Amino acid sequence: DGGITQSPKYLFRKEGQNVTLSCEQNLNHDAMYWYRQDPGQGLRLIYYSQIVNDFQKGDIAEGYSVSREKKESFPLTVTSAQKNPTAFYLCASSRITGGGTDTQYFGPGTRLTVL
**Can you give the binding site for other proteins, defined by CB under 8 A?**
4, 6, 31, 40-43, 45, 48, 50, 56, 90, 94, 99-109, 111
8 cis-preceded (ω within 30 degrees of 0) = yes
Per DSSP, 68 falls in state -
Nearer to other proteins, 45 or 80 (CB): 45
Q: How far is the CB of 62 from other proteins (least distance, A)?
A: 18
Q: How far is the CB of 72 from other proteins (least distance, A)?
A: 17
CA distance 74 to 17: 20
Q: How far is the CB of 80 from other proteins (least distance, A)?
A: 26
CA distance 43 to 4: 17
Nearer to other proteins, 50 or 79 (CB): 50
Count, in order, helices (H) and strands (E) of the chain: 0, 13
